[in-house]
Chain A
Amino acid sequence: MNERTDQASAAAALPEVAVEVAGLHKWYGEFHVLRDINLKVARGERIVICGPSGGGKSTLLRCINRLEDWQRGRIVVDGIELTEDPKRILAVRRDVGMVFQQFNLFPHLTVLENCILAPIWVRHMPKREAEALAMNYLARVKIPDQAGKYPARLSGGQQQRVAIARALCMNPNIMLFDEPTSALDPEMVKEVLDTMVELAADGITMLVVSHEMGFARQVADRVILMSDGQIVETNEPKKFFDNPQHERTRLFLKQILH
């Protein structure tokens, strides 16, 4: 397709390091939520971040598109260093798609309108073209027939797939997933994970906060365990699961795998 080549040519000009986090510290008041985070994500790399709740996983993810600010350290996304400058923040957000735990679809807009909103108002794409693009992505997440419905009429799994399509409509180079399956009923988890597996096969850079260990094993290039605001262990999935190096990782895996 047309937009695929656009993306490919744009990707060619992008730096090899998609996301670089260096010496990142964040406090919520007195609470030290992120402590000296250092992370380099290569272009096309798929990273799954797991760990006990309250460990700072979501906060780290939300720093990468500056939904949260931080007090010390730096983050560079696709060669753009995030500062207070609103232009840089917008440039990064245009380039980074995000999928939330609670879907956060816009309830007053139909599925199609949800998808074309940002392409029209951020990318200044003509409406017809945006609709064609949106239908293409809705077909890829296998719900093109729901395009005219309002989000409240869809199941949780369908809503989350719409949210993925909505993010993809901006042709992002990096996708952030913040516990995308935690709010779903068990029987809907698979359809969302399948969508994400297909996306991973396309070679897009992905950072996923998730406890879906099967997904991590199948898709991730690296698995990261975060606990108490720190990165405890980074490893390739096979080693991470079969031969974890850190005591904290062993404990965590034991807890979630019973």
Chain B
Amino acid sequence: MSAIGDQSYYLRGMQLEPLPPPTTRAGPLGWLRANLFSSPANIALTLACVLLIVWVVLPFFQFFLIDAVWSGADRDACLASPAQPNPGACWAFVRVWLSYFVYGFYPFGERWRVDLFFLTLAFGIVWLLWLSAPRRDIGAFYFFVVLPILSFVLLHGAPLIGIIVVPTTLWGGILVTVVVATIGMVFSLPLGILLALARRSEKPVVKWAAVTFIEFVRGVPLITVLFMASVMLPLFVPERFAPDKLVRALIGVALFASAYMAEVVRGGLAAVPRGQYEAARALGLTYWRTMGLVILPQALRVTLPNIVNTFIGLFKDTTLVFVVGIFDFLRTIEAARADPKWAAPNTTVTGYVFAALFYFLCCYGMSRYARRVEARLARAGRR
């Protein structure tokens, strides 16, 4: 009793100094033990990974880098011969056909226009996406107003100022892939936002129109949309008035992507508390300003990973435009690998790996960028 009574009154005389955190076992050996050999299951996994690397990854590099044929004029370079009994990937084929993969049938003398287009586009993308770039408002104006006009003049042509018209049937390769993907992304985001807002509208007509469009488009494969755009539209509209085949495919892709984008944005809108909307309205902001200044900035931050996810999906979906006879990047590889001059066992797989590399670099780049933006938003000290 008395012992407890003695402890019932206690007063700390001085504040304790903070202690440094406990040290961990550092060093490469400690790391290995902790991460690779900490338990029997972990050891088994480590061994399995080593075997995988030996059996799959090393032969892959052997085939595509070490044994690869880098130059040559035709199939003979890539065939097995006494000099190279086991030829690897046929990069010579990609080198010879590269300009076709980039430009399609775009006339040789006019290809500088495509190069210039790529440059202006890259410039615009960097200006728009580089978060600390100077005068990003001008950058946005350049990207959304100047660039479309400039691109049209460059790629399509403007006879008035002496730039001859190149019909879209001659466009192909990476040029078409980039055009379809860029247009798809640039239009699907604002359209998707409008559709998402419409879906949450209190006006029944607006709401049901949006719901019908979104559910219909999402319930149909992209191929169907493209077929409808390219085959069915001319049945209703006289051929003379019907827009260009590429334009029809562009519209199809943009509408398709916007339906998906609408659902993504709707999720973000639902994540913004109702009080935000009420506070903005109570300050006298109109509906559109409430959305534009208060609700959407918050909703889009939440949805950023999903938006980029949709963009990546869209980028890969552009390969489907080949079904309506448009020569996108993948289709040009398909066409080139059928060339009898390059008929060798390894040309096809090399072409496909080249395509995979291109798509991977583009999609991975988008993904990395999105993660950096997310990290930056998190750092901005919002939460």
Contacts and interface: CB of A to CB of B under 8 A. Distances in A.
B381 A104 contact: no
B50 to A, nearest CB: 46
Contacts of B275: 100, 102, 104
Looking at chain B's contact residues, the main secondary structure is: helix
A100 B279 CA distance: 8
A165 interface: no
Given A100-B282, A105-B279, A121-B293, 14 more contacts: A67-B278, A90-B286, A102-B275, A104-B278, A107-B298, A108-B298, A117-B285, A118-B284, A121-B285, A152-B382, A152-B383, A153-B381, A167-B283, A170-B283
B289 interface: yes
A94 B380 contact: no
A109 to B, nearest CB: 8
22 contacts: A65-B282, A93-B281, A100-B279, A100-B282, A102-B273, A104-B276, A104-B278, A106-B279, A108-B297, A108-B301, A108-B382, A117-B293, A121-B285, A122-B284, A122-B285, A150-B380, A150-B381, A150-B382, A152-B381, A152-B382, A163-B279, A166-B283
B294 interface: yes
A96 B283 CA distance: 8
A226 interface: no
A153 B275 CA distance: 19
B283 A117 contact: yes
Closest 8 A/B residue pairs (Cβ):
A104-B279, A118-B283, A94-B284, A104-B275, A93-B284, A98-B282, A122-B284, A150-B381
A166 B283 CA distance: 9
Nearest to B286: A90
Interface of A: 65, 67, 90, 93-94, 96-98, 100, 102, 104-108, 117-118, 121-122, 149-150, 152-153, 163, 166-167, 170
Contact of B285 (A118, A149, A163): A118
A45 B380 CA distance: 42
Contacts of A65: 282
A166 B279 CA distance: 10
Contacts of A167: 282-283
B355 to A, nearest CB: 40
B86 to A, nearest CB: 59
B383 A107 contact: yes
A150 B378 CA distance: 12
Interface residues of B, number: 22
B202 to A, nearest CB: 11
Nearest to A176: B282
Contacts of B289: 121-122
A106 B294 contact: yes
B283 to A, nearest CB: 4
A96 B383 CA distance: 30
A94 to B, nearest CB: 4
B237 to A, nearest CB: 39
Interface in B265-300: 273, 275-276, 278-286, 289, 293-294, 297-298
B185 to A, nearest CB: 23
Contacts of B276: 104, 106
Contacts of B285: 117-118, 121-122
A82 B38 CA distance: 71
Contacts of B301: 108
B290 to A, nearest CB: 10
A150 B380 CA distance: 9
A100 B281 CA distance: 13
Contacts of B283: 93, 117-118, 122, 166-167, 170
Nearest to B301: A108
A65 B280 CA distance: 12
Nearest to A90: B284
Given A100-B275, A107-B298, A67 B281 contact: yes
A83 to B, nearest CB: 16
B274 to A, nearest CB: 9
Nearest to A152: B383
B380 A67 contact: no
A125 to B, nearest CB: 13
A258 B2 CA distance: 39
A122 B288 CA distance: 12
Contact of B282 (A93, A102, A152): A93
A163 B289 CA distance: 19
A100 B382 CA distance: 20
Contacts of A96: 282
B284 A170 contact: yes
A67 B286 contact: no
B317 to A, nearest CB: 32
B126 to A, nearest CB: 25
Contacts of A104: 273, 275-276, 278-279
Nearest to A163: B279
Interface string B324-354: 0000000000000000000000000000000
Contacts of A170: 283-284
Residue in A107, A117, A153 whose Cβ sees the most chain B Cβ within 10 Å: A107
A167 B279 CA distance: 10
Interface in B158-186: none
Nearest to B380: A150
A139 to B, nearest CB: 20
Nearest to B274: A104
Nearest to A149: B381
B275 to A, nearest CB: 4
A118 B380 CA distance: 23
Contacts of B293: 117, 121
A118 B280 CA distance: 8
